[in-house]
Chains A and B, each alone.
Chain A
């Protein structure tokens, strides 16, 4: 009975017009949206200024000068090169490894399910802490990886401390953390594929390798694309692993966009240049995320349709 009386009261009270109602529900999220967009536009504004925290009196608009300077700035081109190289290496290796492992675990057996759950552990480890773990593992005095390297004849391997192996070391950490991400997305994709094409191919005695190239891979493409773009978007902005491992060093070997921007802001206190760097990175990710979201939406609709 109490329910009935409670239910009738709203009609007498103030009522929100139905058209405004969804806005009211999403208003708090919208406010947070605006709260985040304000600093974004501030960053755009900073990027068009000559602005050093150490010289506040010198602050003035210089419009595109920060960007124009990049054209002749070798450290900018180094940043662009290292970021792209890092992204290409990590995504490439992770995609190949992830696909391989997903194919290995495709059948729903008890062992496979157990392994796929175990493989989630690296992915759930904070990237910064993963870098710390590998830093300990590559310690020249007691690191197990250094020991292995020595055992197979690379006694002078200095991992993150050596410019020639620093990139390799951080890529290794990235691969360790994020390959399981690609793996579980592709595994979910593989297991959701229809079985009829494979049954038909088996009846016709189509070789397994050909089945893979002609049936599995094309049907898996939306999953591959989404996983690759997802990783690419994160990888090109990698900060945690590289900062925790070497802070962008040795020298400028690992000065990817966000590390360079961070150091430009806090060490050189050059706000204008730092903001301009980040805006360029944002432009790259904005382009990529538009491509990504299209693919992502298609997959999402497919998953919803199956529900």
Chain B
């Protein structure tokens, strides 16, 4: 393993460069594009030499798109806001529902416990439209259609299995002896849970929450089916924006960059926990 011939080292280096190019280049290209005007974008052959402009971002943030033909409003900032509301709301609800359940599954073997845990896990793998299509009809009847609450509830399909199974793993790693000792000292179950179990599992819970946030943010199909224009997150909004703005390529690129940037930043921050989260707790990084 340790001794490598110069040729092998060269080939490895070359392969590594190719890999990085393939996976990073599209993001880089989109970022470059977002700082260009339509004229420089449409230049042929394409060139990396251009005078950068922030006009695309300015147009999106101010919500006004002025071209030589007409002026139109852009609702993209609203989409961004919706993404924040939906993702944060779903994660918050998931934590309230999932953390106590994860604790119960980790500490107690009770009748049906594994059944519930696996049913929740299986949601992660069922076709989402199977649940979404009947829900569109139900939601209209019970008044949840086109509400944040309805969407947040459906987003539990993504967030809850993730939170439940990762946090369960963290609780299982904590020795119950510490909790027993604290309880013998006369403390109630609730204060033991709040003062001992939660802080010890804290980093894991935070990581799971961050990941759930990323997956909720990246979701497309739930909002496509259930949300109307004013509740749509960036994933659906960006697609609608393409149809609406037609040939404003610079603005489309800027919208894409604004939509993926928050998530990339969070992912870099949480990268230590990503392996565990992505495998739903099966593999430790």
Contacts and interface: CB of A to CB of B under 8 A. Distances in A.
Q: Do A and B bind each other?
A: yes
Contacts of A262: 129, 225
Interface string A3-47: 110111110000000010111011011101101111110110010
A281 B133 CA distance: 14
A142 B116 contact: no
B172 interface: yes
A285 B259 contact: no
B120 A133 contact: no
Contact of B97 (A29, A118, A121, A130): A29
A184 B274 contact: yes
A240 B160 CA distance: 21
B135 A39 contact: yes
Interface stretch (A70-78, A86-94, A156-164, A292-300): A292-300
Contact of B253 (A33, A115, A136): A136
Interface string A105-138: 1000001000101111111111111101111110
A156 B221 CA distance: 33
Interface of chain B, main secondary structure? helix
Interface in B165-215: 169, 172-173, 185-191, 214
A129 B257 CA distance: 9
Contacts of A28: 96-97, 100-101
Interface of chain A, main secondary structure? helix
Contact of A126 (B100, B160, B259): B259
B220 interface: yes
Interface string A252-290: 000001100110010000010011001101100110110
6 contacts: A10-B189, A147-B46, A180-B23, A233-B125, A261-B127, A281-B130
Interface of B: 1, 12, 15-16, 19-20, 22-24, 26-27, 29-30, 33, 41-46, 96-98, 100-101, 103-105, 107-108, 110, 113, 116, 118-123, 125-135, 138, 153, 156-157, 160, 164, 169, 172-173, 185-191, 214, 217-221, 224-225, 234-236, 238-239, 242, 249, 252-253, 256, 259-260, 263-264, 267-268, 271, 274-275, 278-285
Given A124-B267, A126-B235, 9 more contacts: A3-B191, A8-B186, A21-B108, A40-B126, A121-B24, A188-B283, A237-B127, A258-B221, A303-B282
Would you list the 3 A-B pairs with minimal beta carbon distance, nearest first?
Answer: A126-B218, A25-B104, A29-B101
